[in-house]
Structure 1
Amino acid sequence: MNQALRVHVGGGVRLDADLALPPGPAGRPHGLVLFAHGSGSSRHSPRNRHVAERLRAAGLATLLADLLTLEEEREDAVTRELRFDIGLLARRLEALSDWAQTDARTEGLPTGLFGASTGAAAALVTAASLPDRVHAVVSRGGRPDLAGERLGRVRQPTLLIVGGADPLVLDLNRQAMERLAGEKRLEIVPGATHLFEEPGALDEVARLATAWFSAYL
């Protein structure tokens, strides 16, 4: 069941978010996955929602939130700058994690981060900042290079998923593998481009992410 929220993240800013718990009488979730969208996307991203649905079927709660306000989204649509403000996105993601640790529905749940495109960099920066709270990270078509020096401080198990037909991003992820300090894996989805729009590509992303989070949360 999706529950629409407005989460206060400091500075008078409230972000729209959708919290969803696993369906059926499964009891308390065994983990929570926060989504970090990127490149102008939002909590309505059909690709991330597809992955979130599979995670919930595996007993995980999901939180999909807009990391920018409506006003900021309008500004970003013109300037295309805020989507690359990794520090801002990471601070918002960290604040969402703070909120999740105090809400009765998610308090105490081990947390994973799923980041797409530039959101993957924000997820990695957040993981470096919260080593005791974030337990695993998954990146889909991500830009881990944008995490800068923080990339080398990520100790959590990290899965990088890249399309085989996305050569630039694939190269950046291969370089990131050399800098990540903890357990890590690079999975290449054959024939998939940056948005994983090819038949079966997104299902493979969802399968890989579900297996990773189920193992570490």
Structure 2
Amino acid sequence: MNVLATRTAPVVGEREIAMTCDGAVLEGCLRTPAHPLGLVVLAHGGSGDRHSPRHRFIADLLGGHRLATLTVDVLTAAESADKAKVLDVELLGGRLAGVLRRLPVIPEARRLPVGLFGTGSAAPAVLWTVAEPDARVEAVAVRGGRPDLAGERLTRITAPTLLMVGGVDPRVLQHNRHAAELLAGECRVTELSSPGRSSRPGHLSWRAAYSAAVWFTEHLGAAAEPSGCTATRRR
């Protein structure tokens, strides 16, 4: 991937994790840098993608910002071939909520503030999950997809949320801005590309990963070190 230089940090630990949610065995890859500030759960609707170069790149960049990552295949191999399930926001969201409930039994994740990062079809599912009453999520970032498909659940989300739009399609930007207006907490809509910006291969992926890393570092770092400051709402 041809991208700009990024910060890197040595990975102290990397291991595979299997979790049973709603009768399905979900596979995940946990990567932990030295002295992590928090844990970011990377969700997507496919199967086997946790080892893809794209997700590995995101995990590496987040790790360079002292963020542990748990990259999760929210669907099994058989399910990922079913388009209806790939687009089922409630199914994906319910599975992801199950993953969050199991984090306390993972020693490396037990005391870390948690963030959620979703792309494409997993974007609305991530937002669906954050609205669950028992979801303890300190920050959220999603790229692309249709975040507005999370529906009325958007009005229950108080965690700081970053919505990233990867293209110049005005309809996609409109969907993201509409979703942002419904969110109850701090929110930012970031356009990753526009006329005149670099179109080098991998540039949008780098911008998305870097923007998410900065967002999670700011908010998970604040959660790890309690302060009396109140977050402001940003657009």
1:53–1:166: structure 2 CA closer, same or farther, 3 Å change rule? farther
SS across alignment from 1:182: coil
SS across alignment from 1:70: coil
Distance 2:47 2:110 in 1: 30
Distance 1:197 1:6 in 2: 37
Task: Give 1:47 shift.
Answer: 2.8
1:96–1:191: structure 2 CA closer, same or farther, 3 Å change rule? same
1:63–1:177: structure 2 CA closer, same or farther, 3 Å change rule? same
1:8 matched to 2:20? The reply is yes
Task: Give 1:118 shift.
Answer: 1.8
**Match of residue 49, structure 2, among 34, 42, 46:** 42
**Match of residue 124, structure 2, among 97, 121, 126:** 121
- CA deviation string 1:18-37 (max 9, x = no partner): 11111xxx23x221111121
**Match of residue 52, structure 1, among 59, 80, 85:** 59
**Match of residue 72, structure 1, among 53, 73, 79:** 79
- CA deviation string 1:81-103 (max 9, x = no partner): 00111111111111111121221
User: Contact 1:118 / 1:146 at 8 angstroms: preserved in 2?
Assistant: no
- Specify the alignment match of 2:4 in structure 1: none
- Would you say how many aligned residue pairs link Structure 1 and Structure 2? 205
Task: Give 1:150 shift.
Answer: 0.4
1:171 matched to 2:179? The reply is no
- CA deviation string 1:118-167 (max 9, x = no partner): 21111111111156610100011131111011011111100011124233
1:61 matched to 2:64? The reply is no
SS across alignment from 1:43: helix
Q: Which amino acid aligns with 1:172?
A: H
Task: Give 1:51 shift.
Answer: 1.7
Alignment of 1:142-161 (within 5 A): 142-161=145-164
**Match of residue 109, structure 2, among 98, 106, 120:** 106
1:187–1:44: structure 2 CA closer, same or farther, 3 Å change rule? same
- CA deviation string 1:66-120 (max 9, x = no partner): 111122123x1xxx10011111111111111112122111112111000101211
User: Contact 1:136 / 1:213 at 8 angstroms: preserved in 2?
Assistant: yes
Gaps of at least 5 residues in structure 2 are 1-12, 221-235
- Specify the alignment match of 1:19 in structure 2: 30
Q: TM-score, normalised by structure 2?
A: 0.80
- Specify the alignment match of 1:180 in structure 2: 183
User: Contact 2:46 / 2:75 at 8 angstroms: preserved in 1?
Assistant: no
Task: Give 1:190 shift.
Answer: 2.0
Q: Which amino acid aligns with 1:55?
A: L
SS across alignment from 2:50: coil
1:197–1:126: structure 2 CA closer, same or farther, 3 Å change rule? farther
User: Contact 1:101 / 1:109 at 8 angstroms: preserved in 2?
Assistant: no
Gaps of at least 5 residues in structure 1 are none
SS across alignment from 1:34: strand
Distance 1:132 1:17 in 2: 19
